[in-house]
């Protein structure tokens, strides 16, 4: 199975900050990488698929980059509704494994 | 509007069975791969099973192979997960999710809690 490692596991940031989350795959996954966020008690929501394609309806402050084994999710200006846990998921092969999550908290 | 509504969760003893359902609306159900994803209390996400549009191809997490069966009824716009020989480690919120993994899971239900305990 492909292992996905996210860093950091948590971070504290203020509204308006630029935030970057990293995801590393245990082997090359080309650009088959999705990003989700999940608010407490809610289902996850898709933000980005294929490493850099913004899902319909997702604000443009979210962006994704990377290929091969190293990927990043960037929030250009953190908003109050962005405080959540973020997950990457490789979609290269089954099982479609998720990273352990990055909790973004209010500073 | 896409809606996915799970049902069928609950408390079951180890070794018992449950059948989860996911009622879909707001899209052409028969045109999409569907998935079950679970989340143990306080833990991360785990893709459990997937089924292609006509049910011709399925995927299972290794730890549930031989115990769980995914199916769908396109005439009823409903996805199912039959769970047998349940174990404590199957305790989780189970979500159904729409879409092939390559496109990301674009829509999710609200989840149904399965608790395996004596």
The model's pLDDT over B46-76, given as tens digits with 9 standing for 90+, comes to 999 999 999 999 999 999 999 999 999 999 9
B105: contact with A, CB 8 A cutoff:
yes
Q: In this structure, are residues A34 and A3 in contact, taking their beta carbons and an 8 Å threshold?
A: no
> Is the pLDDT reported for residue A106 higher than 90?
no
- The Cα–Cα gap between A1 and A29 comes to 12
- Could you read off the pLDDT of A22-80 as tens digits, one per residue? 999 999 999 999 999 999 999 999 999 999 999 999 999 999 999 999 999 999 999 99
* Average of per-residue pLDDT values in chain B: 97
B65: contact with A, CB 8 A cutoff:
no
- Could you read off the pLDDT of B75-106 as tens digits, one per residue? 999 999 999 999 999 999 999 999 998 999 99
Percent of chain B residues past pLDDT 70, beyond the cut? 100
**pLDDT computed for residue B48 by the predictor:** 98
The band of A107, judged by pLDDT with boundaries at 50, 70 and 90, is confident
Q: In chain B, what residues touch A46 (CB-CB under 8 Å)? A: 104-106
B111: contact with A, CB 8 A cutoff:
yes
Residues whose CB is less than 8 angstroms from the CB of residue B30 and which lie 6 or more positions away in sequence, other chains included: B53, B54, B74
Please give the C-alpha separations between residue A46 and each of A104, B16, B65, in angstroms, as whole numbers. 16, 33, 27
């Amino acid at each position: 199975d492909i292992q996905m490692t996210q860093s950091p596991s948590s971070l504290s940031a203020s509204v308006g900050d630029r935030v970057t989350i990293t995801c590393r795959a245990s082997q090359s996954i080309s650009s088959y990488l999705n990003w989700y966020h999940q608010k407490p008690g809610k289902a996850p929501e898709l933000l980005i698929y294929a490493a850099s394609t913004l899902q319909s309806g997702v604000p443009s402050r979210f962006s994704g980059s990377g290929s091969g084994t190293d990927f990043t999710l960037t929030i250009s200006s953190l908003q109050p509704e962005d405080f959540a846990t973020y997950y990457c998921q490789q979609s290269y092969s089954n099982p479609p494994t998720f990273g352990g999550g990055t909790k973004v908290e209010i500073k | 509007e896409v809606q996915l509504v799970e049902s069928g969760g609950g408390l079951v003893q180890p070794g018992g069975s449950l059948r989860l359902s996911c009622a879909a609306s707001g899209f052409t159900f028969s045109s999409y791969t569907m998935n079950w994803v679970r989340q143990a209390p306080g833990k991360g996400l785990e893709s459990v099973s997937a089924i292609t549009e006509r049910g011709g191809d399925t995927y299972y997490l290794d730890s549930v192979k031989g115990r769980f069966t995914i199916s769908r009824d396109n005439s009823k716009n409903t996805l199912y997960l039959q769970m047998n020989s349940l174990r404590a480690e199957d305790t989780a919120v189970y979500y159904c999710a729409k879409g092939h993994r390559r496109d990301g899971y674009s829509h999710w239900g609200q989840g149904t809690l399965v608790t395996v305990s004596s």
